[in-house]
Amino acid sequence: MERVYLDHAATTPLDPRVFEAMLPVLREGWGNPSGIYREAQTARKALDEARDTVAARLECAPAEIVFTSGGTESDNSAIRGVSAAWRAERRAPPGHMITSAVEHHAVLEPMEALERDGWEVTVLPVDREGLVDPASVQAAVRDDTALVSIMTANNEVGTLQPIAEIARAAKSRNPATLVHTDAVQAAGAIDIRPDLLGVDLLSLTAHKIYGPKGAGALFVRHRTPFRPLLIGGGQEGDRRAGTENVAGAVGLATALDLAHAEMDARNAHVGGLRDRLWRNLREGIGDVSLNGPRDMRGRLPNNLSLCFPGVEGESILLHLDMEGVAASSVSACSTGSTEPSHVLTAMGIDPDIAHSALRLTLGLGNTEAQIDRVGRALPEVIARLRALSPIR
């Protein structure tokens, strides 16, 4: 049975073109880029070219790009880096930070750690569609607010946040407040140029855009107060210690370059399939609700987050897997938790309903035939599970 992969928000397959770009580095460019001999300089050239490519796509200076191991490190580095610089450069006690209730755990947990260290953290609510109100950001900013961190696109329900408005609102209240956005899910789907968004720090990862795992980047605007999360070496302009993953950086740069060049075509492909699947499921399943923006233009083009009252999301996943379909119920980083999605409950969805959530995220390899197959299989799965459910 052909497998149908619908969990592209968790990770994407490696694009063959990205693989081919990485091969020369793995074969000949294996030297340590910090050295001065020929092997090292071969690696340095590949690393510099990758940095130039990422910078060109973001329309920023190459020196503003810090290569990391992925989105989690980039998010942690942004939050920890700003907080450490705040304390060191101001010689001040812990200040204040702002985030939202629907952030990835890579943002929420560092914020919680800072609270234990004496920082005050305001966690802003969202509306039923998962949106943060820019006015609430402006109202929350204080004279001692060091950072506002709001994601560009939600990894579970696909909501696109008004980041540019949020950044303007924060800085209108306090120009010294820095703004960070986790753009991990948004890269390749929308324009994430930092100048367009008005942000000072921006997180990326390669494996969400058909690049390799273990490769990411953090944009840090010039003159942004920042201290490194990882210390013990002078790499990445003293902002991230450790020998660089040159092949990973090349993979990230190639994947980002391809995503930029093919954005419109990719969005049209996955958006059309997403809408086709939603039509099929609405016709084939009674009592199914869409999580996140009702207007599909307000969400990532490949995202379809649904709830099916009366069944458990994990049961749906197991039955779909037996039908040859891979999907998820929540963020891959939350798999194994018995708690309902913090994103859905923050949006006001009843915890019992949230337990029935299913996240279907489409990708470049999906076809109409695959989508139609899922459109037939999923209603049958829901019908079987509801027939067995003791609560219906």
Give catalytic residues, as residue numbers. 333
CB neighbours of 43 closer than 8 A, spacing ≥ 6? 25, 29, 30, 31, 32, 33, 246
CA atoms of 8 and 301, how far apart (whole Å): 12
Please check whether residue 51 is in contact with residue 67, taking contact to mean a CB–CB distance below 8 angstroms. yes
Strand ranges of the sheet holding 145-149, from the earlier edge strand across to the other edge: 65-68, 216-220, 201-205, 178-182, 145-149, 96-100, 120-124
Q: How far is CA 278 from CA 281, 329, 362, 375, in A?
A: 5, 16, 12, 8
CA atoms of 356 and 392, how far apart (whole Å): 13
Please check whether residue 235 is in contact with residue 36, taking contact to mean a CB–CB distance below 8 angstroms. no
Q: Which amino acid is at 340?
A: P
Please check whether residue 316 is in contact with residue 381, taking contact to mean a CB–CB distance below 8 angstroms. yes
End-to-end Cα distance, the chain: 32
Q: Which residues pair with 231 in a beta bridge?
A: none
Give burial (CB, 10 Å; 0-12/13-18/19+) of 102. Answer: buried
Give the tokens for residue 228.
């490194």
Burial code of 48-81, b = ≥16 C-beta within 10 A, e = fewer?
Answer: eebbebbbebbebebebbbbbbbbbbbbbbbbbb
Integer-rounded Cα radius of gyration of the chain: 21
DSSP state of 350: -
Nearest to 178, CA basis, from 103, 86, 110:
86
If phi over 0 gives left and psi between -120 and 50 gives alpha, with beta otherwise, what is residue 119?
beta
Strand ranges of the sheet holding 303-307, from the earlier edge strand across to the other edge: 289-290, 303-307, 357-361
Nearest to 240, CA basis, from 89, 354, 384, 81:
81
